[in-house]
């Protein structure tokens, strides 16, 4: 009497099907989440367009993100700064009216962070800009985006790859970023 | 078993797939960052850039030394307190308690709004009211008193404030028509002031030049721990030890080894209260050996005749040989310096003890010499009116008036006498006897709880002020305190409150106190300082001057020493010298031990107990945290079969408390010691209900020369309660055990 | 594979670096140190050390990157007490580094013994291997009572439960000084430019911090002092902290 391997395996056919279903579902779930519920492009409280400001009007990045070259954080402009132009520019647009309302209420605009690193990472804009990096190297073609989309995963391998290829001084020491 | 896929199997497949998809979705979601916000400013901040620290200079008020501090702020929040490098008192350094100022500012137990009592007096039940309501009520009460010409029935008891806030208090009470303004601080060394007044005719303390001394002989003064200006002394001590080629020597005379005693080269465990006699015996020895060459040597020989080392040896417990040896070393070292304080100034003969220390300095030729005692110049400031710092006697007098029928209003500012005075003083009862009590403080404490209305104060990191350090540093110095952060809560500074009250009370007060705020008042006062110092009286010139002080945090004038008539000083001392035997409350046979409470390094007089960093700071000598303890000599402990952690009942003639025992190796067998600071009943979540307060059971003995509390003049008996607790500390073994951790064994170096 | 193994072996061998870029070293003069505990609070403030609470403290779970140890000698009345500040010695041949299974603690190019919180898995092996007992474990995620969290230093990571931590020689201050040096187009950090929090606060100036590679630095001079020694020298850990023993005179 011979035993067919296939026949022996046939016993596992149905459980295998269920497991396969589960795994497939899991993969689909991840795909759906990352495709349709991606947090790389959050919806902001005001539909601010970098395309109009940085692209069409060619406002330099550091006109608004004033601290980028001299402090660890790039900084978002104060509401006052927005109003500096928008007291007279495009005052009738619905989004600008929202900004004016924030300013009138003395409330900050709760922008949602697109580029965020965990608290145990001490990233500094200053060193990167002083090293001659373009903003677009990490942030992508901001001047073409209406709504900002995260261009990079902001995971450690991405940081370390760049530090390695550019031979950054002490660039691979953990305590360069974690402290 | 059929291998065909039936309906059930299909449903299983679909079910698994759905569950899987859900799990996958959630897993992907969980791997995402939580949404963080990027909150901009509405207006661009002028004084900081995000991510970059801004430093502000101000003045520390954690004790009365007046160190200059630099506070590191980030995004408008205080992050770290360090010493201000350009401040001559602390020269960039700061003690543990000073650095814990952040715990004061961000303390969760701060009073956040004005409070009105809504329960029984002393029940501690309050409800919030508005500032308008509070100030209107208080100005109504004070205004009525003024109109009725009964303002002298109003009393102001403040903590040890200094500088223009003190001036403002004095002015306000004067304008109101009251002479009853006093300051209370447990650590105020009344006997030291009295002794220096008697010897040098000075109201301010002299400058003890530890830095340049080669032989520092301290009688009870814990100059590295809590005496006068510990950070300044520590800076000087470092220089004395290793700053020059010749290492200075330190000798400490005290019954219980303090931090300074632990660092001294020699520790002399004299009987409590005999320090002055020892000093005189040393002076005697110097004169006898012909090492004193002054013209008045003959007079001194006569005056010191009764204090031969042999006669003092028995009374002090120190052998005559040792006294003579120390005296000879002291006279030979140049320059040498003797200082006195702490327990030596807190026995019934405290002032006499400290006069004796001055005499030793005089005989040693150390007065007016670098490395000895130098004099602070008379202040060029108008604000140097003597502060009404009350001795214990004066406090008792105050309480007697409070209990009298006339007292109507008591204003308490930043002081906690219920905690810092013995229970025998009946502080609580005296405060309760006053019909209306106004409290001003940042924290609820045992005294504030007795108030009818409480005004919440800014902490010192949120308020304007100024400070003239006392003891000074040998030349005129003052510093300005400025807010380093925006105030956290609906609080105000004491100066602003006083000015607001003056305006509301009306009469001639608004005209005589026209300033709009403490900041405005300070600037006007400093403008007059500036006018006296500079030819340029323009507003622009003053602004520049003001800004420069704020930037450096300190204003000073170049050192100028004043010559003192040496002979006259000698005559003054000759007439002042005279030594009474110390007396103690409680007879020796029943109450075997002299109790010495001491100022804790972490809590000072108890005010630091609500700071979590300080609660968790190991005591430098015992490494104990979070509790009280009673220190006993190992021999005493062995004799009474007491081990570490045995809860002891400590009884004086007037009170008792329980505290665990700690076997302390360096304390006289006839003395027990205990740190001050714990034992709060109502002082926030970190302090309340911890340990016990040794001040409570002190007998109301006073120093006869100054009327100050003789807190080292109480005898106690101790007995075991039978309970035992775990004394929490960081130390394991406290012996080196051959590990050569200290590098003292040969083979190293 | 073989290269990784070689690297691993080389790493495990003492003296991985032929020469450190900087050789950060601290000297502590025990003749100046008074045991006043200012450094302890300075460190607590600078490095976001938690308050563990009375109960945890009683279980010896305190977190103090620097502590003052005290040693008695003799008996009353001829008794002496001596203090010694104890902190991570940043050993060049550190026992803890050999222990860590995930390389969360390693030696970096500046001669520092690092501790990387996000790598640490909390085996606590390093703490067992450390002869100086200066490594501390977070048994819990300690909370700050509101608003005490506002005093936290934003330049230093707040640790969570399950990781080891220890003195970093105030790496945030070192990084900041290097950053400032780069801004000024300087190659090197100046001597005395970096003061860890404990060094900065020390009232008696007992502590000096600097680069041992620079023979003219203050710390190099201190290290050449004949009073200098290492604690537990016989263990050959080659610590980066040089203690200067206390001077005892007769009496």
Rounded to two decimals, the ipTM of the complex is 0.93
Cis peptide before B335 (omega within 30 of 0): yes
Contact A175 C109 (CB under 8 A): no
pLDDT at C6 over 80: no
Residue A91 burial (CB count, 10 A): 12
**Model confidence at A169, in pLDDT bands (50, 70, 90)?**
confident
Q: How far, in whole angstroms, is CA B640 from its chain's centroid?
A: 35
Structure tokens at B205: 């303390």
Do strands B714-724 and B593-599 pair parallel, antiparallel, or not at all (unpaired)?
antiparallel
Close Cβ partners of C127 (under 8 Å, ≥ 6 residues apart):
C96, C133, C135, C136, C137, C164
B91 conformational bin, left if phi > 0, alpha if psi -120 to 50, beta if neither: left
Residue of chain A whose Cα is closest to the Cα of B11: A18
Query: What does the longest C-alpha to C-alpha distance in chain A come to?
Result: 93
State how far the Cα of A131 lies from the Cα of A133, in Å rounded to an integer: 6
Interchain contact C89–A (C-beta under 8 A): no
State how far the Cα of C209 lies from the Cα of C190, in Å rounded to an integer: 12
Interchain contact C156–A (C-beta under 8 A): yes
Residue B383 has a pLDDT of 59
State how far the Cα of B21 lies from the Cα of C64, in Å rounded to an integer: 47
Write the pLDDT tens digit of every residue in B433-471: 999 999 999 999 999 999 999 999 999 999 999 998 888
In chain C, the number of structural domains is 1
Unique residue bearing structure tokens 């290269």: C3
Write the pLDDT tens digit of every residue in C172-226: 999 999 999 999 998 899 999 999 999 999 999 999 999 999 999 999 999 999 9
Q: Exposed, middle or buried, C216 (CB in 10 Å: 0-12/13-18/19+)?
A: exposed
Interchain contact A179–C (C-beta under 8 A): yes
Interface residue of A23, A27, A29, A84 to substitute, partner B, most B CBs within 10 Å: A29
Interchain contact C117–A (C-beta under 8 A): yes
Contact B690, B679 (CB under 8 A): yes
Chain B positions in Cβ-Cβ contact with residue A118 (cut-off 8 Å): 33
Contact A170 C21 (CB under 8 A): yes
Interchain contact B17–A (C-beta under 8 A): yes
Interface of C with A in 202-241 (CB under 8 A): none
Quick check: helix, strand or coil at residue B126?
A: strand
C7 conformational bin, left if phi > 0, alpha if psi -120 to 50, beta if neither: alpha
Q: Which of C109, C168, C182 sits opposite A179 (nearest CB)?
A: C168
Closest CA–CA distance from residue B628 to any residue of chain C (Å): 13
Unique residue bearing structure tokens 């707040």: C158
Interchain contact A42–B (C-beta under 8 A): yes
State how far the Cα of B364 lies from the Cα of B235, in Å rounded to an integer: 24
- SS3 labels along B253-284: ECCECCHHHHHCCEEECCCCCCHHHHHHHHHH
H helix intervals, B347-479: 350-363, 392-403, 417-420, 427-433
Contact A120 C117 (CB under 8 A): yes
Quick check: helix, strand or coil at residue B423?
A: helix
Interface residue of B12, B16, B52, B54 to substitute, partner A, most A CBs within 10 Å: B16
Contact A122 C172 (CB under 8 A): yes
Residue A117 burial (CB count, 10 A): 16
Write the pLDDT tens digit of every residue in C125-134: 999 999 999 9
Specify the higher pLDDT residue, A63 or B474.
A63
Close Cβ partners of A76 (under 8 Å, ≥ 6 residues apart):
A64, A65, A111, B38, B40
Which CATH number belongs to the domain containing residue C133 in this structure? 3.30.70.20
Q: Which CATH number fits domain B593-724: 2.40.40.20, 2.60.120.620, 3.40.50.300, 3.10.560.10?
A: 2.40.40.20
Chain B positions in Cβ-Cβ contact with residue C147 (cut-off 8 Å): 106, 108, 488
Unique residue bearing structure tokens 């002479």: B179
User: DSSP state, C189?
Assistant: P
End-to-end CA distance of chain C: 66
Contact C37, B618 (CB under 8 A): yes
The number of CA neighbours under 13 Å toward the Cβ of B553 is 25
H helix intervals, B164-293: 164-176, 190-200, 230-242, 259-263, 275-288
State how far the Cα of C124 lies from the Cα of B180, in Å rounded to an integer: 63
Q: How far, in whole angstroms, is CA B559 from its chain's centroid?
A: 27
Residues of chain B with CATH 3.40.50.740: 115-183+385-457+490-556
- SS3 labels along B637-651: HHHCCCCCCEEEEEE
Could you tell me which of B93, B124, B113 has the C-alpha nearest to residue B442? Answer: B113
Residues of chain B scoring pLDDT < 50: 748-749
Residue C65 falls within a domain, yes or no? yes
Q: How far, in whole angstroms, is CA C117 from its chain's centroid?
A: 16
End-to-end CA distance of chain B: 87
Instruction: List chains adjacent to chain C, taking adjacency as at least 3 C-beta pairs closer than 8 Å.
Output: A, B
Residue of chain B whose Cα is closest to the Cα of A16: B13
User: DSSP state, A174?
Assistant: G
Closest CA–CA distance from residue C141 to any residue of chain A (Å): 15
Q: Which of B93, B616, B730 sits opposite C203 (nearest CB)?
A: B93
Contacts 24+ apart (CB under 8 A), B149-153: B149/B177, B150/B406, B150/B408, B151/B176, B151/B177, B151/B178, B152/B177, B152/B178, B152/B179, B152/B180, B153/B178, B153/B406, B153/B407, B153/B408, B153/B409
Structure tokens at B103: 């715990």
Give counts: helices (H), strands (E), chain B: 24, 26
Residue C71 falls within a domain, yes or no? yes
Interchain contact A157–C (C-beta under 8 A): no
Could you tell me which of B738, B73, B157, B652 has the C-alpha nearest to residue B402? Answer: B157
Question: Which range of residues forms the domain containing residue C174?
Answer: 14-244
Residue B686 has a pLDDT of 95
Which helix (H) or strand (E) covers residue B103, if one does?
helix B101-105
Residue C5 falls within a domain, yes or no? no
Could you tell me which of B209, B210, B213, B211 has the C-alpha nearest to residue B334? Answer: B213
A:B CB pairs within 8 Å = 137
H helix intervals, A87-179: 94-104, 125-130, 135-139, 156-165
Contact B479, B83 (CB under 8 A): no
Q: Which CATH number fits domain B115-183+385-457+490-556: 3.40.50.740, 3.50.50.60, 2.20.25.90, 3.30.300.30?
A: 3.40.50.740
Q: How confident is the model over C23-52, as a mean pLDDT?
A: 96
Which helix (H) or strand (E) covers residue C74, if one does?
strand C66-75
Chain A positions in Cβ-Cβ contact with residue C116 (cut-off 8 Å): 174-175, 178
B543 conformational bin, left if phi > 0, alpha if psi -120 to 50, beta if neither: alpha
Residue B749 has a pLDDT of 40
Instruction: List chains adjacent to chain B, taking adjacency as at least 3 C-beta pairs closer than 8 Å.
Output: A, C
Residue B379 has a pLDDT of 65
Residues of chain B with CATH 3.40.228.10: 190-374
Q: At what angle do helices B350-363 and B190-200 cross, to 10 degrees?
A: 40
Closest CA–CA distance from residue B7 to any residue of chain A (Å): 12
Contact C217, C59 (CB under 8 A): no
The secondary structure of B31-76 as a DSSP string is: TSPPP-EE---SS--SS--TTS-EEEEEE--SSTT--EEEEEEETT
Chain B positions in Cβ-Cβ contact with residue A124 (cut-off 8 Å): 51
Could you tell me which of B226, B188, B207, B232 has the C-alpha nearest to residue B471? Answer: B207
pLDDT at C101 over 60: yes
Residue B747 has a pLDDT of 52
Q: Exposed, middle or buried, B225 (CB in 10 Å: 0-12/13-18/19+)?
A: buried
Interface residue of C100, C153, C179 to substitute, partner A, most A CBs within 10 Å: C179
Contact B22, A30 (CB under 8 A): no
Contact A170 C118 (CB under 8 A): no
Per DSSP, what are the bridge partners of residue C210? C25
Closest CA–CA distance from residue A71 to any residue of chain C (Å): 11
Interface of A with C in 96-155 (CB under 8 A): 118-120, 122, 124, 126-127, 130
Contact B350, B392 (CB under 8 A): no
Chain B positions in Cβ-Cβ contact with residue C69 (cut-off 8 Å): 731, 741
Q: Which of B14, B16, B42 sits opposite A80 (nearest CB)?
A: B42
Write the pLDDT tens digit of every residue in B156-174: 999 999 889 999 999 999 9
Structure tokens at B564: 């003192």
Q: How confident is the model over A152-159, as a mean pLDDT?
A: 90
What are the extents of the domains in chain A? 50-76+111-176
Structure tokens at A142: 């901001």
Per DSSP, what are the bridge partners of residue B660? B647
pLDDT at C140 over 90: yes
Chain A positions in Cβ-Cβ contact with residue B15 (cut-off 8 Å): 21
pLDDT at A48 over 70: yes
Residue C250 falls within a domain, yes or no? no
Which helix (H) or strand (E) covers residue B27, if one does?
helix B7-30
Residue A18 has a pLDDT of 85
Interface of C with A in 4-33 (CB under 8 A): 21
Residue B350 has a pLDDT of 95
**Model confidence at C251, in pLDDT bands (50, 70, 90)?**
very low
Residue C249 falls within a domain, yes or no? no
Q: What is the rounded (10 degree) CA torsion for B259, B262, B264, B267? A: 110
Structure tokens at B628: 């009280």
Dihedral of alpha carbons A79, A81, A82, A85, sign? positive
φ/ψ (deg, to 5) at B202: -125, 135
Interface residue of B4, B47, B51 to substitute, partner A, most A CBs within 10 Å: B51
Residue B748 has a pLDDT of 44
Quick check: helix, strand or coil at residue C222?
A: helix
Domain B190-374 belongs to what topology? Dimethylsulfoxide Reductase; domain 2 (3.40.228)
In angstroms, what CA-CA distances link B139 with B498, B643, C191?
A: 10, 57, 59
Q: Which of C41, C71, C246 sits opposite B613 (nearest CB)?
A: C41
State how far the Cα of B613 lies from the Cα of C144, in Å rounded to an integer: 11
For chain A, state the CA radius of gyration: 25
Q: Which of A21, A29, A72 sits opposite B14 (nearest CB)?
A: A21
Write the pLDDT tens digit of every residue in A1-45: 566 777 777 777 778 888 888 898 888 888 888 777 777 888 899
Q: Which of C54, C205, C229 sits opposite B626 (nearest CB)?
A: C54
Contact B269 C77 (CB under 8 A): yes
């Amino acid at each position: 009497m011979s035993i067919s391997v296939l026949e022996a395996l046939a016993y596992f056919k149905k459980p295998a099907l269920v497991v396969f279903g589960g795994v497939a579902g899991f993969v689909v779930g991840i795909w759906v989440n990352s495709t349709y519920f991606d947090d790389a492009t959050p919806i902001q409280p005001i539909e601010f367009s970098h395309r109009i400001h940085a692209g069409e009007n060619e406002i330099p990045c550091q006109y608004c993100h004033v601290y980028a070259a001299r402090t660890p954080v790039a900084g978002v402009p104060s509401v006052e700064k927005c109003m500096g132009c928008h007291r007279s520019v495009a005052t009738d647009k619905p989004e600008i009216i929202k900004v004016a309302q924030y300013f009138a209420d003395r409330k900050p605009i709760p922008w949602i962070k697109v580029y965020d690193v965990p608290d145990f990472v001490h990233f500094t804009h200053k060193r990167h800009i002083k090293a001659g990096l373009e903003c677009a190297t990490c942030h992508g073609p901001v001047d073409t985006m209406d709504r900002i989309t995260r261009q990079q995963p902001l995971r450690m391998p991405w940081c370390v790859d760049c530090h390695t290829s550019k031979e950054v001084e002490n660039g691979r020491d953990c305590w360069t970023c974690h402290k | 078993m059929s291998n065909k896929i039936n309906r059930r199997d299909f449903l299983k497949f679909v079910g698994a797939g759905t569950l899987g998809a859900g799990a996958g979705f959630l897993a992907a979601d969980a791997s995402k960052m939580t949404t963080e916000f990027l909150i901009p400013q509405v207006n661009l901040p002028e004084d900081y850039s995000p991510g970059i620290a801004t430093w502000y200079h101000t003045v520390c008020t954690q004790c009365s030394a007046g160190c200059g501090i630099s506070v590191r702020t980030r995004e408008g929040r205080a992050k770290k307190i360090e010493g201000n490098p350009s401040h001559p008192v602390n020269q960039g350094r700061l003690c543990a308690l000073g650095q814990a100022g952040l715990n004061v500012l961000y303390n969760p137990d701060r009073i956040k709004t004005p409070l009105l009592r809504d329960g029984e007096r002393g029940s501690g039940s309050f409800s919030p009211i508005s500032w308008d309501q509070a100030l209107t009520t208080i100005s109504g009460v004070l205004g009525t008193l003024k109109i009725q010409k009964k303002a002298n029935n109003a009393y102001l008891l403040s903590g040890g404030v200094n500088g223009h806030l003190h001036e403002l208090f004095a002015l306000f009470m004067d304008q109101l028509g009251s002479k009853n303004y006093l300051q209370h601080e447990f650590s105020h060394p009344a006997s030291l002031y009295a002794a220096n007044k008697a010897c040098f005719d000075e109201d301010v303390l002299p400058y003890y030049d530890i830095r340049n001394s080669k032989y520092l002989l301290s009688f009870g003064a814990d100059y590295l721990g809590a005496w006068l200006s510990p950070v300044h002394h520590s800076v000087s001590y470092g220089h004395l030890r290793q700053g020059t080629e010749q290492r200075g020597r330190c000798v400490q005379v005290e019954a219980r080894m303090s931090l300074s005693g632990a660092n001294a080269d020699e520790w002399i465990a004299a009987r409590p209260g005999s320090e002055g006699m020892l000093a005189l015996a040393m002076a005697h020895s110097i004169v006898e050996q012909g090492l004193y060459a002054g013209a008045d040597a003959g007079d001194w020989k006569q005056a010191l005749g009764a204090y031969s080392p042999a006669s003092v040896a028995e009374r002090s417990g120190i052998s005559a040989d040792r006294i003579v040896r120390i005296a000879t070393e002291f006279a030979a070292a140049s320059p040498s310096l003797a200082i006195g304080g702490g327990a030596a100034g807190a026995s019934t003969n405290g002032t006499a003890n400290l006069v004796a220390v001055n005499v030793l300095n005089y005989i040693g030729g150390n007065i007016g010499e670098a490395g000895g005692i130098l004099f602070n110049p008379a202040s060029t400031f108008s604000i140097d009116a003597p502060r009404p710092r009350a001795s214990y006697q004066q406090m008792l007098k105050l309480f007697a008036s409070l209990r009298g029928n006339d007292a109507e209003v008591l204003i308490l500012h930043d002081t906690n006498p219920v905690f810092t005075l013995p229970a025998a003083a009946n502080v609580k009862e005296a405060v309760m006897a006053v019909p209306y009590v106004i409290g001003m403080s940042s924290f609820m404490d045992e005294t504030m709880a007795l108030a009818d209305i409480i005004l919440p104060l800014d902490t010192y990191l949120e308020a304007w002020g100024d400070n003239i350090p006392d003891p000074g540093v040998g030349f005129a110095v003052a510093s300005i305190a400025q807010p380093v952060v925006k105030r956290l809560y609906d609080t105000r500074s004491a100066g602003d409150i006083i000015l607001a009250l003056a305006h509301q009370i009306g009469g001639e007060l608004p005209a005589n106190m026209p300033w709009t705020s403490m900041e405005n008042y300070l600037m006007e006062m400093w403008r007059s300082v500036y006018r006296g110092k500079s030819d340029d009286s323009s507003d622009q010139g003053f602004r520049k001057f003001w800004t420069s002080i704020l930037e450096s945090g300190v204003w000073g004038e170049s050192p100028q020493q004043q010559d003192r008539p040496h002979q006259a000083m000698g005559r003054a001392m000759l007439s002042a010298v005279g030594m009474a035997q110390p007396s103690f409350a409680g007879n020796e046979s029943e109450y075997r031990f002299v109790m010495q409470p001491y100022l804790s390094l972490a809590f000072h007089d108890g005010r630091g107990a609500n700071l979590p960093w300080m609660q968790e700071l190991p005591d430098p000598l015992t490494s104990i945290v979070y509790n009280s303890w009673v220190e006993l000599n190992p021999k005493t402990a062995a004799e009474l079969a007491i081990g570490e952690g045995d809860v002891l009942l400590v009884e004086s003639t007037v009170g008792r408390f329980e505290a665990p025992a700690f076997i302390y190796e360096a304390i006289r067998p006839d003395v027990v010691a205990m740190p001050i600071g714990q034992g709060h009943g109502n002082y926030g979540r970190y302090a309340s209900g911890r340990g016990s307060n040794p001040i409570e059971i002190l007998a109301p003995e006073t120093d006869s020369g100054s009327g100050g509390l003789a807190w080292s003049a109480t005898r106690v008996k101790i007995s075991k309660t039978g309970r035992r607790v775990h004394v929490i500390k960081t130390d394991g073994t406290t012996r080196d055990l051959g590990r050569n951790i200290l590098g003292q064994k040969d083979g190293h170096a | 594979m073989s290269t990784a193994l070689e690297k691993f072996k080389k790493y495990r061998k003492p003296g991985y670096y032929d020469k450190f870029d900087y050789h950060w070293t601290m000297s502590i003069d025990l003749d100046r140190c008074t045991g006043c505990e200012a450094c302890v609070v300075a460190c607590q403030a600078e490095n976001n050390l938690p308050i563990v609470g009375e109960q945890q403290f009683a279980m010896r779970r305190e977190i103090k990157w620097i502590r003052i140890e005290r040693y008695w000698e003799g008996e009353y009345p001829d008794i002496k007490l001596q203090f010694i500040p104890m902190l991570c010695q940043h050993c060049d041949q550190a026992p803890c580094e050999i222990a860590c299974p995930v390389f969360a603690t390693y030696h970096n190019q500046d001669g520092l013994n690092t501790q990387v919180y996000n790598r640490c898995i909390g085996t606590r092996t390093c703490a067992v291997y450390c002869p100086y007992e200066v490594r501390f474990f977070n048994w819990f995620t300690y909370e700050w009572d509101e608003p005490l969290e506002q005093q936290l230093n934003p330049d230093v990571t707040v640790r969570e439960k399950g990781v080891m931590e220890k003195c970093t020689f105030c790496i945030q201050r070192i990084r900041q000084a290097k950053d400032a040096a780069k801004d000024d187009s300087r190659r090197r950090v100046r001597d005395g430019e970096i003061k860890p929090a404990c060094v900065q606060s020390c009232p008696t100036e007992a502590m000096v911090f600097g680069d041992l590679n620079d023979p003219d630095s203050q710390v190099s001079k201190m290290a050449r002092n004949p009073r200098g020694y290492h604690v537990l020298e016989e263990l050959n850990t080659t610590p980066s902290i040089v203690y200067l023993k206390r001077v005892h005179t007769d009496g």
